[in-house]
Amino acid sequence: MRDGAVASGSTVPAVVPMRPMTAGELLDAGAALLRQRALPLFALAAPLAAGEQLILARLRDGAGVSAPTYLPDFGNLSGWWAVAAIGFGLETVILVLLGGYAGAAAAPALLGRHVRHRTLWSRTRPLPLAALAAVAGVLAAVAAYCGFVPWLILYGLIGLAAPLLTLNRAPGPIAALGRSVRVSARSGLRPALIRLLGYATWFLVRFAFGTAWVAAASQIGVSLRPELLAWVVPVAWALANTVAYAALACLDAVLLLEVRIRTEGLDIEIGQARARGEDGSAVLVDAA
């Protein structure tokens, strides 16, 4: 069995359809993968999201950015912009780390194989994944600092690198980034646009849970003191990000499988492997 293939185990219902999907179906499939692996994904996402808010809290204080909206102080716009760019970089690091586990979990979810949570950790390739997270995080922070449009392009194109590293077993972080760009540009940039759609969808959820509730509370006459908002709002954002980051990582993993099914005939290759008496897991390994 090739490196990274899914070990044989009991058969369970597949939660990722082995066929081309619409954008809505991809979001649903990502949510299904999240439900299946919620415990390890949330266990990893929660401390990462909390650490992100701790780092940003110190940076916001220095830049004069205050809760609940974190809008810029136009007397120190450059400081706010730098904090925002670092925030984009940090969330990219988190998405890559979560995407590594989600990528490892996507294979058994597609093939309908039972694999224990702890078994998947050994397939995440920690050192290459950490290197990928660092490179992607720096790229995202620089792109965000250079303007929002470069970050949009980068986010759409490099997001499949983590599952490519752990699911497809790309040889290294740079190879994973390069293949992510190629895969994301297929079919008129469809994968990149779906990834941006997923981000926008979850950003609305995060914003509502992290900030909009303050405005809603004020409408019904409930107001919070600034010193209370200073820690309640980051906690709310951390909770929202825990769910959103895990969901986006699962979307990336499912999207990679769907793109390969749509453009490479992955479902046909798996069917042929099963006809030969194999479980189809080796077909998922593609380091090209």
pLDDT, tens only, 258-268: 999 999 999 99
**144 in a domain, yes or no?**
yes
The domain total for the chain is 1
Tell me what the mean pLDDT of segment 70-93 comes to: 84
- Which range in 201-205, 231-235, 242-246 is most confidently predicted, on average pLDDT? 242-246
Q: Mutual orientation of helices 173-184 and 186-207 as an angle, nearest 10°?
A: 100
Question: Which pTM was predicted?
Answer: 0.90
Please give the share of the chain, as a percent, with pLDDT higher than 70.
Answer: 86
**62 in a domain, yes or no?**
yes
**Ranges 28-32, 197-201, 218-222, 272-276: which has the least confidence:** 218-222
Please check the confidence at residue 67 and state whether its pLDDT lies above 60. yes
Sign of the CA dihedral running 271, 276, 281, 285: negative
Domain with 218, as residue range(s), is: 23-284
**10 in a domain, yes or no?**
no
Please check the confidence at residue 131 and state whether its pLDDT lies above 50. yes
**Letter for the amino acid at 17?**
P
What pLDDT, on a 0 to 100 scale, did the predictor assign at position 187? 83
Please check the confidence at residue 149 and state whether its pLDDT lies above 70. yes
**111 in a domain, yes or no?**
yes
C-alpha to C-alpha distances, 249 to 17, 266, 279, nearest whole angstrom: 17, 21, 25
Residue 262 host element (H or E):
helix 226-264
- Please count the CA atoms within 13 angstroms of the CA of 68 that sit on its side-chain side: 23
Please check the confidence at residue 23 and state whether its pLDDT lies above 90. yes
**106 in a domain, yes or no?**
yes
Please check the confidence at residue 226 and state whether its pLDDT lies above 70. no
**4 in a domain, yes or no?**
no
CA 67 to chain centre: 25
**223 in a domain, yes or no?**
yes
**6 in a domain, yes or no?**
no
